[in-house]
A = this chain, B = another copy of it.
């Protein structure tokens, strides 16, 4: 039983075993989104605001925020994004950058206890990021690669994760504040990518006792009907013990698979969230605003 608590100024989210899966909205990220990158660079954050609101309305429990734009002032941009998103939503944030100065500035601008995304098993990266995490009392995403790259052997990736947790502990960060990302590769390019992750997630949970997360969309890269693959992957990952993911809750196949997996793991008490979103498709998973004027019964087989 490992609970990772992340908070905003007014709201706590707990990522943990035997709890509903935590959906971390992936959209506020200019990587591969030319128009968004251009707008952000020009100080136009209207799309960031819209993406924050729409993801929360779709059920995101947290939002990942990234401002990595080439040749832009990433620390300043990231602060602006954090302040804006915290002014329009109350969900906790994952502060996403590979630049230490951006993480520092982002943490300073953030109200609450954020999730820092991310640290790797590279010694130099751990020595820069983990003191910052420890000092700010944040939680951190630990990506299971090191100086030698991403191993294709899930047991090697397990050892890398174990080492990051151990070093984090040395810096005074409790194990519960380290969320391991086992690294999800595109299944179209590597046929055993799914099995690797399922095996690794199970070991991380059972042997290392840590929560897990991943960038889910990557698994379906290059495949047709990719949201169905991403959703199916997430359901299977939940079955293997994964407790959160950075994902797109606006894709109905993905959201439905995650919420269905919560039902099937017994983590949606009395199927209340599942029933709630099907009473009112606009309701958020917590059931807020669940009007009952569109109640639907189960499908009946009659012929």
A interface residues, Cβ below 8 angstroms from B: 32-36, 47, 187-188, 191-195, 198, 219-229, 231-233, 235-236, 238-240, 256-257, 260-261, 263-266, 269-271, 274-275, 278-279, 296-299, 301-303
Contact = CB atoms under 8 A, between A and B. Distances in A.
A285 to B, nearest CB: 14
Contacts of A271: 187-188, 223
A239 B303 contact: no
Given A223-B275, A225-B256, 4 more contacts: A33-B303, A187-B263, A194-B265, A232-B263
Nearest to A281: B225
A223 B298 contact: yes
Contact of A264 (B233, B270, B296): B233
Contacts of A223: 263, 271, 274-275, 298
B198 A239 contact: yes
A266 B192 contact: yes
A225 B253 CA distance: 12
Given A235-B235, A266-B192, A34 B224 contact: no
Given A188-B271, A269-B191, A274-B224, A232 B235 contact: yes
B298 A226 contact: yes
Copies in the complex: 2
Contact of A296 (B192, B198, B224, B279): B224
Contacts of A195: 264-266
A290 B298 CA distance: 34
B36 A303 contact: yes
Contact of A32 (B220, B265, B275, B301): B301
Contact of A299 (B187, B226, B232, B235): B226
Contacts of A193: 266
A112 B298 CA distance: 38
A232 B261 contact: yes
B302 A264 contact: no
Contacts of A257: 228, 232, 235, 257
A43 to B, nearest CB: 18
20 contacts: A33-B301, A34-B303, A195-B266, A198-B239, A222-B298, A223-B263, A223-B274, A223-B275, A224-B278, A225-B274, A225-B278, A227-B299, A229-B260, A232-B261, A235-B235, A235-B257, A236-B238, A236-B261, A239-B239, A239-B240
A298 B33 contact: no
Nearest to A31: B301
Contacts of A228: 256-257, 260
A260 B275 contact: no
